[in-house]
Structure 1
Amino acid sequence: MARLLRILPVLSLLSVIGCTDPPLESETTDSATMPPSTMPYDPSQGGGVTGYATGGQVDPTTTGDPTTGEPPPPMCDEALKRCAYEFTYPDMGETSVDVMGSFAPDGWSKGAAMTSDGTNWRVTVPVPWDTSVQYKLRIDGSMAWIPDPNNPDQIDDGFGGYNSVLQPMTCEEFTCEAASCAVTQDGGFDWRDSIIYFVFVDRFNNGDPGNDALTGVETAADWQGGDWAGVTAKIEDGYFNELGVNTLWLTVPMNNTSDDGLGTDGHMYSAYHGYWPTDLSQTEEHFGSLAELQALVAAAHAADLKVILDYAMNHVHITAPVYVDNPSWFNPNDNGNGGDCVCGAGCSWDGADGERCWFTDYLPDFDFSNQAARDYSIDNAIQWIKDTGADGFRLDAVKHIKIEWLLDLRARVKADIEPMSGQHFYMVGETFTGDKPTINKYVGCDKLDGQFDFPLRMQMAYNVLMRQGSMNELADFFDANTDYYNGGAAVMSTFIGNHDIPRAIHLAEDSPVWNNQWADGKDKAWNDKPGLPVGAAAFERLGLSFTLLYTTPGAPLVYYGDEVGMPGAGDPDNRRFMQWSNYSSGQSWLLGHIQDLGAIRAAHPALRRGSYARLGADADSLTYSMSGEGETVWVAVNRSDAGKSVGGLPGMALKDELTGEMVEGPSVMVPARSARVLVAP
């Protein structure tokens, strides 16, 4: 009996415009592959569709077929189109048959279960548009998977066996995967295309020494002179365009206190970081005037760069007029048991306490169950957008506010901002936790477009930088993570470094400075500070991490200075002033590598908008593909300190976009601590 494979007509068409909010999950974490660790908390801080031929072209998105009254076809990018295929296999007494493959992000891990009609096992699977699919059959749940015996198209799987191959195909009737809320369907900016650069303004570039003013605390925790004029200068110099980023995240723009504040480490700090706001309607005097911020945004837009403003909504400084004049808008610093309600001291960082605790005793916490307080804050956020022309927000400490604040902000943005701009306003949140359900709680079309993917960062740091566990673990994590947030519709920001953890280069050293990827690095923040690593290995490992970020779903983030592997322990040492010259050979290589990655990602839309599929993994290697937009890109990763043959690739000639070399699949030699990003020549 021959195995049958055919296209099925699609019985119902699904709309792509919009997205769905999945129900919250009951589990506490989805990080089973991550080793036990201490997780510190942040204390701060398209394709169009032609009209029907009825004597003239009409708009099928609004009218449908004028002769039959049938509903219009869906509208979506090719990367979201799916054709329905039926796999069949003769029933010879098996207890179960599953199709496992690259047709879905979790296709190799979960697969698609077939059902038997007594003669054949069958399952209909939506497969990606115009994209080859590799697959195998799993019989009776066996670990020994087999290629389809009746499909002659096979390629070496790189592990001594073969995968069956479905050749690229299109269909007249197709369904559409749920599109991200952050994807504008009418030609506007697609936030899946974003590569974000975090400009820590005070530590980046000093363009106007006239606004420098010190408070007298230790230099590492004092203002250091960076400002908006300095950022604008680097925009106009072409630094960001040459680096290959297209989105700038700027630190909080509103005016902060001039008072010092005691940190948890016993040192005094200034408000150089921007998270101690006082006058929410005025710009930070150390950064410049509103006119200078507007000039920065205008210069960025002229250079095809988007601008995201950091917005701190959880609290203000105790000297802020809004607190002095409206104390009822804030939670009392009272835990109800005779003590203060400071996060981690008197009150918990989590749960109901986490939404009312003060980060310190000089940072009053907004009570956003109070409608007047919420309205005031939302009005302020909307005014910053209108005043600056910013394209998005990075929202600080999301899990510490009432979710109603996010719902109200998104509604106001949709009503007041997007009709004027004609663009989707991107909002990404910070929830410093390894608990994926908590992160997901705040993501949805009526809330955040995405969040910073802390669980992914920690898994990558553990498996790639620190070389702990196996790359199989990372592959398993990717399988479960790719479509997790908002059912895969979120545009998460992926990263390896940020301002609340030690510089990533030190986890990549031959002997990592810290043995826990969650370490906050405060033990070396003031004394015994780490220096720049010597040799090439640490820089190559950090570069490999960026290769993974730039070739997997999400909006990758570059923390300022990480493009040259700047050293630094925990806060404030991880916020040293930007290094602009005198690079070591390792630093120069890393900078060039990230520039190359930016160019490769820009040249291949599959890397930005495609579907991820795992092709193979072992202790030290990982192979996967990104397919969509009419192309497939294959990535072969080797974390080990020696060259390694890595399989799972198609058996044909391939071009390595990183080196320009031609190689031949299904297995290729990948040098130590590196990857190959492969395309059909």
Structure 2
Amino acid sequence: MQMMTDAREDPGVAASPALTLGPRSGLPGLRGRVGGGRRLDPGRATAPSWARVARSLRILPVLSTLFVGCTDPPLESETTATATMPPSTMPYDPSMGGGVTGYATGGQEEPTTGPDPTTGEPPPPMCDDALKRCAYEFTYPDMGETSVEVMGSFAPDGWTKGAAMTSDGNTWRVTVPIPWDTAVQYKLRIDGSMTWIPDPNNPDQVDDGFGGYNSVLQPMTCEEFTCEAGSCAVDQEGAFDWRDAIIYFVFVDRFNNGDPGNDALTGVETAADWQGGDWAGVTAKIEEGYFNELGVNTLWLTVPMNNTSDDGLGTDGHLYSAYHGYWPTDLTQTEEHFGTLAELQALVAAAHAADLKVILDYAMNHVHVTAPVYADNPDWFNPNDNGNGGDCVCGAGCSWDGADGERCWFTDYLPDFNFSNQAARDYSVNNAIQWIKDTGADGFRLDAVKHIKIEWLTDLRARVKADIEPMSGQHFYMVGETFTGDKPTINKYVGCDKLDGQFDFPLRMQMAYNVLMRQGTMTELADFFDGNNNYYNGGAAVMSTFIGNHDIPRAIHLAEDTPVWNNQWADGKDKAWNDKPGLPGGAAAFERLGLSFTILYTTLGAPLVYYGDEVGMPGAGDPDNRRFMQWTNYSSGQSWLLGHIQDLGASRAAHPALRRGSYTRLGADADTMAYSMAGEGETVWVALNRSDAAKSVGGLPAMALKDELSGETIDGPTVMVPARSARILVAP
């Protein structure tokens, strides 16, 4: 469901600051004791030299956390090559926003905590000390070993799994997140043997209880840290880690028709009418193995509740049906065009049998005016009255933002729930819980969260924790939709007592600008990531990252040699009914879209694939971006993109560091960018090139590296990356 973007962007998170000396040490951002137990004191003549210290310890700047968040596209005051800002106002159009669900913001909510008035930087993200981690580089001289691992107390499984080191021919190295202000015991495991040795470069040792010694890394803190998550998750063996999710958005009515018997039409134009997709069709694709082969593991399904059979007039003069699912009438019954409750239950069962999770879209903000709950309980709804003799339709008699935003009606036929009313809130939360119990769903995508009282979210989360998770033994994932570039607004609804995360709209817009449209520089994108990953819920959020969805034009058109729209925030409505864009020819647009997916699949968060984007389907704004799924007759570019996304899914599944590791920026320039993801006992290096010519990318380790995408083995520290391409590099 679409919300208009905001008139004023958040000042944004500035690029990572230059390395500074910590207050008690001669190392960047380091306090406490390091290395062989000697206290580093810049005021003492006996302080170790930089060269000697560097051989045993390096604290590296940590540029993200274990979970992805987002920041805003840069403002003109921040960079000379700036992304286009979202428009300030736009009238509500019921043909937009999840298909006629649309909501908009013409203004801006005040941040709950504002930027520093002097620097303009946002406040530092909150993180409990128990969750903070400092990046520490272990080193060991290469003396011909075939493998070296660091085993220790730095992670819950550190003594059994450890962290594999890589060698440049002279030195073995690995960077590991170290618990904040906590002593760490460790050993080195050589060549996979059962004989483990203390670190010869670290004289601090303690008895290991078995007649030997463990090396000890003394407590340390750092100015730049990652924020380990986990407090929101179910602490039970076998519980799914939502950092591992790859989400596929199944827009049910436009996906696959498994039962022509439920294909009744409303009688409006085809693009805005029901087109026959249903749960039986989704189940068929599950059983065919389509999703497993694609490499996704989570399905997001459109709203399952029964919708009105009436049509609605959009501001563009076209009539729309409720095919999108956002005009609910009976909140207790399934949508007849999609199927029965038994068919939805069968879909979920088939998904679980195929190791797929299922997220249901849940629309809680409003109902259709014909809904019995509105007729029976009018006091549960905000009146369509602004108190000044006018209506309270969003963007007309009432504002989209502030207090009005929580009471305005999206249209005069969508009554808005008043969740200040406890009875209304209880009814809605009970309904949501019943849908979970009846279907066995694993999560919710929650619509239009900025337009509801936050108490609704906290009530739902409390009920989920009390009624659902103890029975399932699994964490119930809740991701919200807030279409804005303002981080404080997005973050307001994220927390262990609310949402696990939200859709990362600022990241999408930054990537569209820098990668698809080739505007600005890749340095801007790197700067974005520098301030990106530690923001939401202190870094503990599981944001969903994406390049396409149902409220914006198909991404392939921004990736064309000449983008169809020159603004990454464009809604594409100008071509939704006439002059519709066709499928691009050639390879370039598909390769640029593939490069964007590579970034999503090699950074933190739960990547989202909007149905059809895996083959670069064309489409302008809503409803043209919801054409029926293309299953056959792919062009060469489409076939390549499909295979590429399958390869990305396999790579992400094979390398936990891509899903749970720590991000470190390695370099960036006008057209290239490099970073590493380290954790879970491995390091993965990623080199990107958006240019139309091959480019060399440096900053990589001086060692042989295997490219996960091409299968080549190439030598660092500089590699050649083909045009509009990337390399995902691992130790061979």
Segments of structure 1 that go 5 or more residues without pairing to the other structure are none
SS of residue in 2 equivalent to 1:248: strand
1:452 shift after superposition = 0.2
Cα–Cα, structure 1 residues 304 and 98, in superposed 2: closer, same or farther, change >3 Å? closer
C-alpha contact 1:105 1:479 (8 A) present in aligned 2: no
C-alpha contact 1:4 1:88 (8 A) present in aligned 2: yes
Cα–Cα, structure 1 residues 330 and 60, in superposed 2: closer, same or farther, change >3 Å? closer
Cα–Cα, structure 1 residues 10 and 575, in superposed 2: closer, same or farther, change >3 Å? closer
Cα–Cα, structure 1 residues 97 and 658, in superposed 2: closer, same or farther, change >3 Å? closer
1:320 shift after superposition = 0.1
C-alpha contact 1:37 1:518 (8 A) present in aligned 2: no
1:145 shift after superposition = 37
Counterpart pick for 1:336 among 387, 395, 414: 387
Counterpart pick for 1:622 among 662, 673, 679: 673
Equivalent residue, structure 2, for 1:526: 577
Counterpart pick for 2:498 among 447, 455, 465: 447
What do residues 455-498 of structure 1 show as CA deviations (whole Å, max 9, x unaligned)?
Answer: 00000000000000000100011111111111110000000000
SS of residue in 2 equivalent to 1:26: coil
Equivalent residue, structure 2, for 1:504: 555
C-alpha contact 1:194 1:245 (8 A) present in aligned 2: yes
SS of residue in 2 equivalent to 1:481: coil
C-alpha contact 2:254 2:276 (8 A) present in aligned 1: yes
Distance 1:569 1:161 in 2: 67
Cα–Cα, structure 1 residues 302 and 143, in superposed 2: closer, same or farther, change >3 Å? closer
1:180 shift after superposition = 5.5
1:596 shift after superposition = 0.4
Equivalent residue, structure 2, for 1:257: 308
1:187 shift after superposition = 2.4
Distance 1:587 1:574 in 2: 17
SS of residue in 1 equivalent to 2:647: helix
Equivalent residue, structure 1, for 2:20: none
What do residues 200-237 of structure 1 show as CA deviations (whole Å, max 9, x unaligned)?
Answer: 00000000000000011000000000000000000000
Greater Cα shift, 457-466 or 159-168: 159-168
What do residues 597-648 of structure 1 show as CA deviations (whole Å, max 9, x unaligned)?
Answer: 0000000000011111111000101100011000000000000000000011
* 1:387 counterpart = 2:429: no
SS of residue in 2 equivalent to 1:3: helix
1:350 shift after superposition = 1.2
Distance 2:620 2:100 in 1: 53
SS of residue in 2 equivalent to 1:412: helix
Distance 1:622 1:508 in 2: 18
* 1:10 counterpart = 2:62: yes
What RMSD over aligned residues (CA atoms) do the two structures have, in Å? 14.3
State, as a whole percentage, how many aligned pairs show the same letter: 91
Cα–Cα, structure 1 residues 560 and 48, in superposed 2: closer, same or farther, change >3 Å? closer
1:179 shift after superposition = 2.5
SS of residue in 2 equivalent to 1:597: helix
1:346 shift after superposition = 1.6
Distance 2:387 2:122 in 1: 59
SS of residue in 2 equivalent to 1:434: coil
Greater Cα shift, 36-45 or 567-576: 36-45
Equivalent residue, structure 2, for 1:233: 284
By relative contact order (CA 8 Å, sep 6+), the higher-ranking structure is 2
SS of residue in 2 equivalent to 1:556: strand
Cα–Cα, structure 1 residues 337 and 189, in superposed 2: closer, same or farther, change >3 Å? same
What do residues 271-298 of structure 1 show as CA deviations (whole Å, max 9, x unaligned)?
Answer: 0000000000000000000000000000
Distance 2:230 2:173 in 1: 28
C-alpha contact 2:127 2:538 (8 A) present in aligned 1: no
Cα–Cα, structure 1 residues 427 and 78, in superposed 2: closer, same or farther, change >3 Å? same
C-alpha contact 1:244 1:599 (8 A) present in aligned 2: yes
C-alpha contact 2:125 2:537 (8 A) present in aligned 1: no
C-alpha contact 1:24 1:437 (8 A) present in aligned 2: no
Greater Cα shift, 544-553 or 51-60: 51-60
| TM-score after normalising by structure 1 | 0.79
1:336 shift after superposition = 1.6
What do residues 123-182 of structure 1 show as CA deviations (whole Å, max 9, x unaligned)?
Answer: 999648999999999999999999999999999999999999999999999998342524
Cα–Cα, structure 1 residues 551 and 336, in superposed 2: closer, same or farther, change >3 Å? same
Greater Cα shift, 77-86 or 380-389: 77-86
C-alpha contact 1:612 1:624 (8 A) present in aligned 2: yes
1:500 shift after superposition = 0.3
1:265 shift after superposition = 1.4
1:83 shift after superposition = 6.7
SS of residue in 1 equivalent to 2:479: strand
Equivalent residue, structure 1, for 2:356: 305
Distance 1:368 1:248 in 2: 29
1:186 shift after superposition = 2.4
Cα–Cα, structure 1 residues 118 and 395, in superposed 2: closer, same or farther, change >3 Å? closer
C-alpha contact 1:606 1:627 (8 A) present in aligned 2: yes
1:263 shift after superposition = 1.2
Distance 1:50 1:111 in 2: 49
C-alpha contact 1:79 1:609 (8 A) present in aligned 2: no
1:344 shift after superposition = 1.3
1:264 shift after superposition = 2.1
1:4 shift after superposition = 7.7
1:665 shift after superposition = 0.4
C-alpha contact 1:97 1:114 (8 A) present in aligned 2: yes
C-alpha contact 2:243 2:606 (8 A) present in aligned 1: yes
Cα–Cα, structure 1 residues 628 and 100, in superposed 2: closer, same or farther, change >3 Å? closer
Equivalent residue, structure 1, for 2:28: none
What do residues 363-403 of structure 1 show as CA deviations (whole Å, max 9, x unaligned)?
Answer: 00000000000000000000000000000000000000000
Distance 1:370 1:266 in 2: 36
Greater Cα shift, 508-517 or 340-349: 340-349
Segments of structure 2 that go 5 or more residues without pairing to the other structure are 1-52
C-alpha contact 1:9 1:173 (8 A) present in aligned 2: yes
1:337 shift after superposition = 1.8
1:349 shift after superposition = 1.2
C-alpha contact 1:131 1:628 (8 A) present in aligned 2: no
Distance 2:490 2:474 in 1: 25
Cα–Cα, structure 1 residues 263 and 664, in superposed 2: closer, same or farther, change >3 Å? same
SS of residue in 2 equivalent to 1:624: strand
C-alpha contact 2:106 2:400 (8 A) present in aligned 1: no
Distance 2:547 2:63 in 1: 44
C-alpha contact 2:207 2:213 (8 A) present in aligned 1: yes
SS of residue in 2 equivalent to 1:62: coil
SS of residue in 1 equivalent to 2:229: coil
C-alpha contact 1:18 1:180 (8 A) present in aligned 2: no
SS of residue in 2 equivalent to 1:319: coil
What do residues 226-259 of structure 1 show as CA deviations (whole Å, max 9, x unaligned)?
Answer: 0000000000000000000000000000000000
Distance 1:27 1:603 in 2: 38
* 1:40 counterpart = 2:85: no
1:526 shift after superposition = 0.3
Cα–Cα, structure 1 residues 111 and 421, in superposed 2: closer, same or farther, change >3 Å? closer
C-alpha contact 2:94 2:314 (8 A) present in aligned 1: no
C-alpha contact 1:91 1:118 (8 A) present in aligned 2: yes
| TM-score after normalising by structure 2 | 0.74
1:585 shift after superposition = 0.3
